Amino acid sequence: MDFRPFTRVTINGVALTGFLFSQLTSVRVTDTAGFVSDTAEITFANVSALKRFSLPEPGAEVKIEL
C-alpha cells in the first residue's frame, strides 16, 4: 500500500511519470499572501547512475497539483 499523498508535477506541459516520478522524494509548496511570490521545492533521489536526468531550464513552467 502506498501512503504518499497524491501529487502531479508537470514541467513545460509534460507530466513527470514513470522513472522520473519514482525518483520524486518530496514536494513542498509555500503559498504566501498578497503580492509576495509563492515558492516550491521539488526533491528527487537521482540515485541511478544509468538514468540520470537534468534540471529544467531557467524559466520553465512548473505546475504542481496537490
Q: Could you report the per-residue pLDDT of 6-23, keeping only the tens digit for each? A: 889 999 999 988 888 888
Say what the pLDDT of residue 60 is: 93
- Domains of the chain, by residue range, sit at 8-65
Say what the pLDDT of residue 2 is: 67
Handedness of CA 7, 60, 24, 16 (dihedral sign): positive
Whether the per-residue pLDDT at 30 is higher than 80: the answer is yes
The average pLDDT across 19-37 equals 88
% of residues, the chain, pLDDT over 70: 94
Q: Calculate ∠ Cα 60-26-65, nearest 5°.
A: 55
pTM of the model: 0.71
Element (H, E) at 31: none
**CB-CB contact of 31 with 38 (8 Å):** yes
**CB-CB contact of 21 with 3 (8 Å):** no
